[in-house]
A = this chain, B = another copy of it.
């Protein structure tokens, strides 16, 4: 009994899909050429026109677009419509040197909700479900999308946002929530809190976990499913396009169906940006096919994955991507927040310019990146009295918390103990 939100598009035969993609690619290339200086220059440098791209394979003749390209055109340089046509601005979840902003038209937002609605239905969510959304609503608009898509399919939303695990559990019980949307890390914390409070699983009504933006390892999935008595699904998104919503697991849980009528995926060699043979593992590069406000051509997601074009028993024809468990750059995620080592270095420099040496420790718990520790060397000639040490650590901690939205453990140590791995990032189990 497979349900669909948009059966026609979700089960489109792949030949028809290919025709649709090419047609929409043409529109996207023309839009980029006509409206965005950045893309027009690229075409001009290569000496060709959008109509010279005659097939999806030809697309590889164009260079990839990187996050840095986006950052350089902050705030509105890559928008392809006037600002008055934009209804939503979204900030990148991983601002580095400068923030990055993406714009959506009314139709873009509708498309976004439409793909999220598909994913929810594919996971078995329906009008009778009560979806508790324990994501932080705000500059990073993921939580909104869960919210609005849930309303679209007629489910009930409980926007619990950043309430504590204890409050989440109280609401979960009182409201009889059936779906929990949050990060795997916070879901694990909720599971532990429930156990600690001695609340029986029979007093909760969860059936489904809708998890992102971190990927779940098979082991983490198994433990979340047992400890919360749910079916756990991963949803994937790309900050710079739609997050969440580009792809998600169906009830088969064997790869994430990508909404290929809106997003064209390639798997490329991270060095050359050239497409790899079908089935190979590489970096996911995506071209938007319907975005009006912020079209992206061959955008490097940084995520390492592989694509599976074999038919899925659920009937959906969209290609399935493996949950991306690694990145082509140094970006890492702690408690659902994307962090770049450079960003930590910059923040440390701002908070405590006198610190010369540091090391980033990402500590795992239950298979999840759970804690960020910053080990910093005592500045030279430092009066290492209790008071001073605390003041320095507090300054660093406060600055990082404000900037990253994440509590960071700060440890001052002798420079000699930091010699190894200084300036590096270490993952500890």
- Give residues in A with beta carbon < 8 Å to B: 74-75, 83-84, 86-89, 99, 101, 103, 106, 109, 127-128, 130, 137-139, 141, 143-144, 147-148, 150-151, 154-164, 171, 174-176, 402
CB <8 Å contact, A161 and B138: yes
CB <8 Å contact, B106 and A156: no
With contacts A137-B137, A137-B138, A175-B101 taken as known, whether A88 is within 8 angstroms of B157 at the C-beta atoms is yes
Residues on B with beta carbons closer than 8 Å to the beta carbon of A157: 87-89
Nearest Cβ in chain B — how far from A293, in angstroms? Answer: 10
Residues on B with beta carbons closer than 8 Å to the beta carbon of A87: 150-151, 154-157
The binding surface of chain A is classed by DSSP as: mixed
CB <8 Å contact, A139 and B163: yes
With contacts A84-B128, A175-B75 taken as known, whether A106 is within 8 angstroms of B138 at the C-beta atoms is no
Most chain B CB within a 10 A radius of its CB, from A157, A160, A174: A157
- CA A74 – CA B170 in complex, angstroms? 13
Residues on B with beta carbons closer than 8 Å to the beta carbon of A159: 89, 137-139, 141, 144
Contact of A86 among B83, B137, B156 (CB under 8 A): B156
Nearest Cβ in chain B — how far from A63, in angstroms? Answer: 27
- CA A162 – CA B99 in complex, angstroms? 17
- CA A221 – CA B86 in complex, angstroms? 30
Which residue on chain B has the smallest CB distance to residue A143?
A: B137
Residues on B with beta carbons closer than 8 Å to the beta carbon of A161: 137-139
CB <8 Å contact, A109 and B163: no
Nearest Cβ in chain B — how far from A130, in angstroms? Answer: 7
With contacts A101-B175, A137-B138, A147-B144 taken as known, whether A130 is within 8 angstroms of B160 at the C-beta atoms is no
